Chains A and B, each alone.
Chain A
Amino acid sequence: METSGGLGISLEVCGLSRVFGARRALDGVSFTLPEGAFLSIFGPNGAGKTTLLRVLSTLAPPSSGTATVLGKDVLEDASKLREHIGLISHNPLLYPDLSAEENLQFFADIYCLDCPQERIRELLSAVELDHRCLDIVRTFSRGMLQRLSIARALLHSPEMLFLDEPYSGLDPHAVDILDALLARIRKRHTFVMVSHDLEKGLELCSHALILAKGKVVLFEERNRIDVGEFKGLYRQTVGMGVS
């Protein structure tokens, strides 16, 4: 399958809904994303952004509709799909009583990596934590935790990376490291990022999506977006409230 630009499709969402009791967190979400794209998802609190990310990353099943990530259905091919995706969340998803190296070793074992020690050293160096590799994660600052979390997510070289507010709580140095890492791996990956930071989200993205009350308000390529109009529309959707 190819997009109009000739690129393959990495993400295809069609009529996706997720219902919690009487509340529709996602309501008929549809969009298509080409390979190598960087999608920034914006929206007010409770708009359904994190729910969308959880469904796409196979952590939650959709109530109706379909989502195909890297050609694999999130429901039917979930196990195979998980080999190719990574998630960086505002939660570090690390064991606090293990060292940085032990955490990465644990997840390397789960992903059955070849030469895990080499990969672990490479990633710890990339996130500038090689000097703290033997320290217990519980002693790490928020920024260091997030950097280690990035290393964990990249351990198995995923083709698609989901980022849930990855810049939240980071100091400027950690922001620089994350920016440099994302720039380094940008060409080889497709990204889906949830963010409240309009400036950062628009700076990074190739596509932008605004979600409100579980519905897509706007999905557009970055180069077709007028930043002023986009910000106006975003402010309007924040006033729409939650789903």
Chain B
Amino acid sequence: MELRTKEMLTSMGLYALLVLLVYHLAFSQVDSYDVTPIGAGLLWLAIVFTSLLGLNRSLVHEKDQGCLEALLLSPIDRPVIFFGKAAGNLLFLLIVEVIIVPLFHFLFLQNIEMSGAVWMLALALFVGSLGIAGVGTLLATMSVNTKGKDFILAVLFVPVMFPLLYAMVAALSAVITGEVLFPGEWVGEYWRALGLGAGYDAIMLLIAFGLYEFIIGA
């Protein structure tokens, strides 16, 4: 369906570009600025905002025409529906990241030399995005039947995601400015933060797997 409409990818991509544009406008108001120390936080902020937009729309096609009921009537297990939806959300988020991360680097980080390799950056982004897609899909399913679903998803999402975001900002900071912030220790700091993020993902995905049957049927 997304291949036909490209609704989610277009809206998420455009929104992410707009967020970067706003960052750029805000920082260009001062003569000289260095966003390096807060670069990781800014990037995750853009990713979280963008993912909220996508998550809000992830069950809209099913909800609008009652297709969710057709899926629930089919002989597939509820957790399979969860993994399908979460995989879709993860894929869209990764596609958007492929566009915005190089652009973010071009706009804000082109004058610095990153401490870590590109694969370390990609791994941190993947671990963070996996948690966002998994927990976000669960929360989007919970909020899809509520009156103010957009508002409720945003209110639930950020507090629940806080431990992951905290860890992933630390991991990304280590990759971007590790040598400056934690001289000699940034690799250990990176793996510690990544481990925390991966642990959070594993626990939350297991909880989502266990709860999805009740939540989608409610």
Interface of A toward B, CB cutoff 8 Å: 57-61, 79-80, 82-83, 85-87, 89, 91-98, 107, 110-111, 152
Contact = CB atoms under 8 A, between A and B. Distances in A.
A145 B122 CA distance: 45
A60 B75 contact: no
Contacts of A80: 75
B66 interface: yes
A92 B67 CA distance: 8
Contacts of A61: 217
B5 interface: yes
Contacts of A85: 73
A18 to B, nearest CB: 13
Given A61-B217, A97-B1, A98-B4, A92 B65 contact: yes
A59 B75 CA distance: 12
A59 B74 contact: no
A91 B65 contact: yes
Contacts of A98: 1, 4
Contacts of A93: 65-67, 69-70, 73
Nearest to B2: A97
B76 interface: yes
B64 interface: yes
Contact of A58 (B64, B67, B73): B73
B121 to A, nearest CB: 35
B185 interface: no
Contacts of A59: 69, 72-73, 217
B61 interface: yes
B77 interface: yes
Contacts of B69: 59, 87, 89, 91, 93
Nearest to A136: B4
Interface residues of B, number: 18
Main secondary structure of the interface of A (DSSP, over half): loop
A152 B1 CA distance: 17
A94 B73 contact: no
B131 to A, nearest CB: 28
Given A94-B65, A95-B1, A97-B4, A79 B73 contact: no
A96 B217 contact: no
Contacts of A110: 71, 74-76
A113 B77 CA distance: 17
Nearest to B4: A97
A136 to B, nearest CB: 8
A92 B66 CA distance: 7
Most chain B beta-carbon neighbours within 10 Å: one of A82, A83, A85? A82
A96 B66 CA distance: 10
B66 A95 contact: no
Contacts of B74: 82, 107, 110-111
Given A91-B66, A92-B65, A93-B65, A57 B4 contact: no
A96 B62 CA distance: 10
A43 to B, nearest CB: 21
Interface in B73-130: 73-77
Contacts of B1: 95, 97-98
A61 to B, nearest CB: 7
